[in-house]
Structure 1
């Protein structure tokens, strides 16, 4: 029996799932039947853990704090937002505040969850929660980074300059900044 999605459209029926664990990943193959009777086999990387957060730390409504840290995937130092896993037993907002303290040495008195972001929803189940952090104050927790992360203030009205930098390429950070800027422009509270 097929179930309707949030848009009312009937979701494909899953007739079976086979899986293979590969280190930190779980690969799944879904045997699907669509409403029109067509059957296909889809692959997906299943979600492990409790999700992730990406945090937009606002020094004020015009200035975001970026982190410059080593990115092994591209073997360079990359500018981006604070991000990390949500640990077992943590809420989204608790994880966001912990990551702020571990990565850039600030905590926030005001945290607002804006929305969920996906990376590649066609084949990955990973979801990252976008959180805006305001009313920041210095407070550091020990993190797992091997070196201190450089904190770079950036004006939101200069996002057009940031977008053209080679060392700012992470998709969640780009999306989160534009979403936050638009949210603020339209009365974000």
Structure 2
């Protein structure tokens, strides 16, 4: 099963300001043919930033989420702009959303979201050694910044408004990474 299917045709079948839907006609190595549809994410992807104010304090945000029609607690995030690499995009996003920049930015992991039908990558960036540097962004209202101590992990995960899987996964990775660094400082 390691041979990728042959793509016989691909067609854009729907497009909005945010989403594009592509239809593909595929042939698998065993001769089976299928038609698939997938959502196309931005060509450049997005970033999800874990901004650490100090060794224990992460800066979360609470902002309106139209998909769930409520305010959600999570990590700063945004799409990558033309010409930006993930670290540049991460530093821009935290300037716009939390009013800080970082002297130390590090890629932790690249996530996909439902890769069976969405083509999109999210780069998870650890941001440390923060300093104040507010820049204006495209948010329709001010974003609430919520400092939270990772040492109060159980309370954080219990928050009803912390439900985005990417933020939860990134926080788990960061907690484990920073915990292993405490035990072995050469890990970071």
TM-score (norm 2): 0.90
- The correspondence for 1:42, drawn from 36, 42, 66, is 36
- Which of the residues 9, 14, 21 maps onto 2:14? 21
Give how far 1:55 is off: 0.1
Structure 1 stretches of 4+ with a deviation exceeding 4 A read: none
Q: Deviations over 1:110-148 (max 9, x none)?
A: 000112111110100011100000000111001112222
For residues 144-171 of structure 1, the C-alpha deviation after alignment (integer angstroms, 9 at most, x for no partner) is 1222212111121322222222111111
Cα displacement (A) at 1:42: 1.3
TM-score (norm. length: structure 1): 0.90
Specify which structure has the higher proportion of helix. Answer: 2
Segments of 5+ residues of structure 1 without an aligned counterpart are 1-7
Q: Summarize the alignment of residues 4-19 of structure 1 with structure 2, pairs less than 5 Å apart.
A: 9-19=2-12
Residues 76-95 of structure 1 correspond to what in structure 2 (within 5 A)? 76-95=70-89
Q: Please name the residue that 2:184 is paired with.
A: none
Answer yes or no: is 1:140 the counterpart of 2:128.
no
Structure 2 unaligned spans of 5+: 182-186
Say which of 152, 161, 164 aligns to 1:167: 161
Give 1:66's match in structure 2, choosing from 56, 60, 64.
60
Task: Note if contact 1:26-1:48 (Cα within 8 Å) is conserved in structure 2.
Answer: no
